[in-house]
Amino acid sequence: MTSAVQSATFAYITNHVSDNVSVIDTTSNQVITTIDVGHRPAGVTASSDGKRVYISNPESQEISVIDTSNNTLINNIKVGDAPVGIVVSPDGGKLYIADWYLNIVSVMDTDTMKIVSEIKVGKSPSGIAISPTGDRLYVANRDDHNLMLINVETENIEAVIPVATAPFGVTAAKSSNKVFVANVRANSVSIIDLNNDNMVTNIKVGGYPYAIAHDEIRNRIFVTNQHDGTVSVISLTEEKVIKTITVGDYPEGIALHPSGKSVYVSNWFDGTVNIIDADTLEITGEIITQDGSRAFGNFFSTH
Of the candidates 59, 20, 10, 9, the one whose C-alpha atom is nearest the C-alpha of residue 293 is: 20
Low-confidence ranges of the chain (pLDDT < 50): 1-3
Specify if 179 maps to a domain.
yes
- Domain membership of residue 101 as a residue range: 84-289
Specify if 35 maps to a domain.
no
pLDDT at 48: 96
pLDDT at 4: 54
Specify if 60 maps to a domain.
no
Specify if 47 maps to a domain.
no
Q: In what order do the strands lie in the sheet with 20-25?
A: 30-36, 20-25, 9-15, 300-302
Taking phi first (over 0 means left), then psi (-120 to 50 degrees means alpha), and beta for anything else, what does residue 93 get?
alpha
pLDDT at 176: 85
Count the domains in the chain.
Answer: 1
Specify if 52 maps to a domain.
no
Specify if 1 maps to a domain.
no
Of the candidates 221, 226, 264, the one whose C-alpha atom is nearest the C-alpha of residue 23 is: 264
Give residue 128's identity as a one-letter amino acid code.
I
Q: What CATH number does the domain containing 173 carry?
A: 2.130.10.10
Specify if 151 maps to a domain.
yes
Q: Which residues pair with 247 in a beta bridge?
A: none
Specify if 56 maps to a domain.
no
pLDDT at 6: 79
